[in-house]
């Protein structure tokens, strides 16, 4: 399937988030805005999710990247619709770009639209794209102090994927500090621990994702 | 020593970078603007550098953080002058804040001023703070594709510390991809490989830093 490449449209005077949200709700497409630091494992998580669920759930991806379309290329093999947004140095995606990108999908042939935001723990958490919910991905190698130091994302997200759990034994990561700080910021947040590269914990992620899709389509 | 805490002053109409650079040059203080993703190891690198060199080089630190002063607190034990700038959600430091922060140091009692920028691979690389040079810190666990995906920092930095080399055996990091992409973007960039947490490669960093200080004070 062809990857469509767009530029990011930053327009401070226009907020298309509610328009996007209404459109997707009417067309029964759930949209997840995935936010993480560079290299936390967003694309690997999407690869595993495509492999496991693309036969059962009709999914598409909007890929945000600062310069390249490398992440979009990594997902091409799953034969799902992909729109790549090149921000040309911009540090986050914007609801205007998402609104334009959504026009390129056949929404009647979709159940789930992932947005892989630009690798950045700060700016993307401050912008509503019209998503159903935000998903934070954070890796253990970034340290256990990320919820305390970057609280905005953790207060905004419905769930956190804590990735690279296979590397915990080789770091000074404290699960106790991590979960305590996170619970202070957002007591209701869902925590799913994975090693996307080794396949660990992914069953829990797939199960939770199915539940969100059921709840979304119910209403 | 008391940690002074300031707020970030973002003013798009004022660029104080050249003013800061001239002042520091006149007062013979070298300033290094350290930029990385969240959790790449900037603070640990500063801890090791204070331990090894604070007796030989008179250093100070400006700590940029989104919300907490946790990084500043980690450096307090070295008894060096520290100014913490809280960006209150802002994604980078700004030359106006640096200009104000510099006023709080006794410049005649300093040789080296580190700026630990906000954890973000994108925005901080787009702002000149008046530094002598930018230093990139990137960790192996973020993946070997960071130079290709975030070229601005790698084209701006004089040197790159590739940290967490002890974790390479447990990841799919390719040193060849990393160095090839980086050489395409900035052929003259210096690469120093470290594991700050284990102390590996730090001798090379200290030696290179001493050389920069000698060249700065000679020039």
- Please indicate if any CB of chain A lies within 8 Å of the CB of B170: yes
Which residues partner with B85 through β-bridges? B6, B64
Question: Does residue B5 have a pLDDT over 80?
Answer: no
ipTM: 0.91
Structure letter (DSSP) for residue A195 = B
- Decide if A150 and B119 are in contact by the 8 Å CB cutoff: yes
pLDDT at B150: 95
pLDDT at A5: 77
Question: Does residue A8 have a pLDDT over 90?
Answer: no
* pLDDT tens by residue, B160-214: 999 999 999 999 999 999 999 999 999 999 999 999 999 999 999 999 999 999 9
- Decide if A142 and B68 are in contact by the 8 Å CB cutoff: no
Contact between A37 and A138 under an 8 Å Cβ cutoff? The reply is yes
Residue B123: closest CA among chain A residues belongs to which residue?
A91
Domains of chain A in start order, with CATH, are: 3-218 (3.40.50.300)
Query: Which of B37, B68, B151 has the CB atom closest to A38's CB atom?
Result: B37
Q: What is the average per-residue pLDDT within A148-156?
A: 95
Mutation site for B-interface testing, chosen from A35, A66, A89, A141 by largest number of B Cβ within 10 Å? A141
- Please indicate if any CB of chain A lies within 8 Å of the CB of B122: yes
Query: What is the distance in angstroms between the Cα of A171 and the nearest Cα belonging to chain B?
Result: 9
Please provide the average confidence, as pLDDT, over all residues in chain B: 94
pLDDT at A13: 60
Environment class of B10 (CB within 10 Å of its CB; exposed 0-12, middle 13-18, buried 19+): middle
pLDDT at A11: 67
pLDDT at B7: 75
Q: Write out chain A residues lying below 8 Å of B142, CB-based.
A: 37-40
Q: 0.90 exceeded by the pTM? A: yes
Question: Does residue B215 have a pLDDT over 80?
Answer: yes
Query: Which of B40, B66, B150 has the CB atom closest to A122's CB atom?
Result: B66
As a residue count, chain B comes to 219
Environment class of A204 (CB within 10 Å of its CB; exposed 0-12, middle 13-18, buried 19+): middle
Residue A39: closest CA among chain B residues belongs to which residue?
B142
Which residue carries 């002053």 as its tokens?
A: B9
Query: Which of A38, A126, A197 has the CB atom closest to B121's CB atom?
Result: A38
Query: What is the distance in angstroms between the Cα of A67 and the nearest Cα belonging to chain B?
Result: 6
Interface of B with A in 71-100 (CB under 8 A): 89-91
pLDDT at A69: 87
Q: Write out chain B residues lying below 8 Å of A70, CB-based.
A: 145, 148-149
Question: Does residue B96 have a pLDDT over 80?
Answer: yes
Interface of A with B in 128-147 (CB under 8 A): 139, 141-143, 145-146
- Please indicate if any CB of chain A lies within 8 Å of the CB of B119: yes
Contact between A136 and A36 under an 8 Å Cβ cutoff? The reply is yes
- Decide if B126 and A66 are in contact by the 8 Å CB cutoff: no
Query: What is the distance in angstroms between the Cα of A143 and the nearest Cα belonging to chain B?
Result: 6
Query: Which of A67, A142, A152 has the CB atom closest to B38's CB atom?
Result: A142
* pLDDT tens by residue, A198-212: 999 999 999 999 999
- Decide if B70 and A148 are in contact by the 8 Å CB cutoff: yes
């Amino acid at each position: 399937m062809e990857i469509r490449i767009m530029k990011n449209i930053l327009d401070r005077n226009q907020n298309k988030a509610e328009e996007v949200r209404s459109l997707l709700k009417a067309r029964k497409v759930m949209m997840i805005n995935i936010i993480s630091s560079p290299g936390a494992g967003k694309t690997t998580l999407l690869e595993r999710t495509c492999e496991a669920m693309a036969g059962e759930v009709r999914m598409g991806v909007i890929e945000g990247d600062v310069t390249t379309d490398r992440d979009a290329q990594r997902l091409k093999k799953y034969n799902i619709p992909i729109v790549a947004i090149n921000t040309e140095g911009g540090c986050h995606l914007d609801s205007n770009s998402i609104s334009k990108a959504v026009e390129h999908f056949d929404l009647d042939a979709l159940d789930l639209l992932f947005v892989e935001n630009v690798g950045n723990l700060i700016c993307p958490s401050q912008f509503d794209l019209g998503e159903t919910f935000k998903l934070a991905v954070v890796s253990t190698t970034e340290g256990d102090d990320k919820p305390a130091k970057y609280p905005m994302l953790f207060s905004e997200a419905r769930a956190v994927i804590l990735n690279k759990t296979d590397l915990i034994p080789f770091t000074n990561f404290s699960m106790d500090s991590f979960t305590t700080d996170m619970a202070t910021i957002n007591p209701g947040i869902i925590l799913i621990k994975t090693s996307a590269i080794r396949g660990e914990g992914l069953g829990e992620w797939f199960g939770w994702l199915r539940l969100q899709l059921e709840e979304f389509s119910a209403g």
